[in-house]
Amino acid sequence: MTMADKAHQAFDVSVNVYGESKCFDDDGRLKRTGSVWTASAHIITAVIGSGVLSLAWATAQLGWVAGPTVLLLFSFVTYYTSALLSDCYRTGDPVSGKRNYTYMDAVRSNLGGFQVKICGVIQYVNLFGVAIGYTIASSISMVAVKRSDCFHKHGHHATCNVSSTPYMIMFGVIEIIFSQIPDFDQISWLSIVAAVMSFTYSTIGLGLGVAQVAETGKIEGSLTGISIGTEVTEMQKIWRSFQALGAIAFAYSYSLILIEIQDTLKSPPKEAKTMRKATLISVAVTTVFYMLCGCFGYAAFGDQSPGNLLTGFGFYNPYWLLDIANVAIVVHLVGAYQVYCQPLFAFVEKTAANWYPDSKIITKEIDVPIPGWKPFKLNLFRLVWRTIFVITTTVISMLMPFFNDVVGILGAFGFWPLTVYFPVEMYIVQKKIPKWSGRWICLQVLSGACLVISIAAAAGSFAGVVSDLQVYRPFKTPN
């Protein structure tokens, strides 16, 4: 039984004129306070992540025609399937039906059976992978700050090699501290800060790209992307194009935490309506940023577009602006790490509580006094398991520091099942859409096309990992 349930039993609850509780929602939990703006902040924090920095590289692989077209298609698919998924937050009546607190709960209510386990494995492995990807990305940005200062002092041709290991450890220590925030409801402030940081570094990257184009007076790139023969072989071109699809898929990926974000929203209005509005705002804003960053980055560097726009050192000056951008990336990733990991934390802790309901280690909370603030509730199990989780992701990040390939694999692995397949199948069940009807066929064609894209993206990203392993050095992020 949760603390909210106990409180609900222990106290009489005042009600308003409509017979609704002023303190508790219809499921007995404390009133949710989330709004379209907090939901938008969570989504933007999750979406405008480190993925935006690889979009110039992705556009370079695809060219001026396919690059922007693929970005727009992914934005449409993400918005459409997210709207379908938001309707699955409640089972039955969209206003008073049973709430599904997590993505897995929604799959269990609508599809059931073995699909629930498949969904759980894919979702939580993907969340684990995102934690690794964000640890790698943060260390790359911290290393970039150090190298930027080195280049400023010694010139652009200086070696300036810097080990990423201390910076990954530093990021891990910070995440151990923030991971003690109990649940999603209490990280809204962190999401808002992270969202502001994401706009900061995206705007800087965009501004530098625009300035580069203005300075040279030349738009780089070609209609078909990176040239075969001079830059890559025909087979490399194919693999890189597939990998670019994975990078773009990762840049739009947030469906795996959509239900958890929706569960923070107050009602009325109904949660699905608020979530659709938040999704529209967020996807529209991120698509504009993605188009600008990807296109101006490609226009500035053409075939030489770096895998990470702000750390690949296409730009060297002004060095202080690059430092600000990379610090903003790190701050953003601190928040994004928590946004993605909170559903995984909650799942493990809920499962442990169900398995061992009488265990004091799992259920007991200790009040830790904080001067000037209300006591912080420390749970021993939460402290130990979340610390082990962060340490594990940090160590794996040190062993596999392949940013672009990890991003591509994560995008490919999670995009089709979590962003397309499950939302489509749940929506068909929820709305009772007849099999072989026109709408059913259209939804299945959408799902099938996205499956093909995901398979291609996965193949390209794994090929990239194989290539990286040929020059692999453990515990060192490539400079």
pLDDT in tens, 53-101: 778 888 888 888 888 998 898 888 888 988 888 888 887 777 777 888 8
Distance, CA of 258 to CA of 39 (rounded, Å): 9
Q: Is the pLDDT of residue 313 over 70?
A: no
Of 251-255, 311-315, 430-434, the least confident: 311-315
Q: What is the pLDDT of residues 437-460, one digit of tens each?
A: 889 999 999 999 888 888 888 887
Q: What is the pLDDT of residues 197-215, one digit of tens each?
A: 877 887 887 787 788 788 8
Q: Is the pLDDT of residue 151 over 60?
A: yes
Confidence bin at 471 (pLDDT 50/70/90): low
Of 20-24, 129-133, 173-177, 325-329, the least confident: 20-24
The structure's pTM equals: 0.75
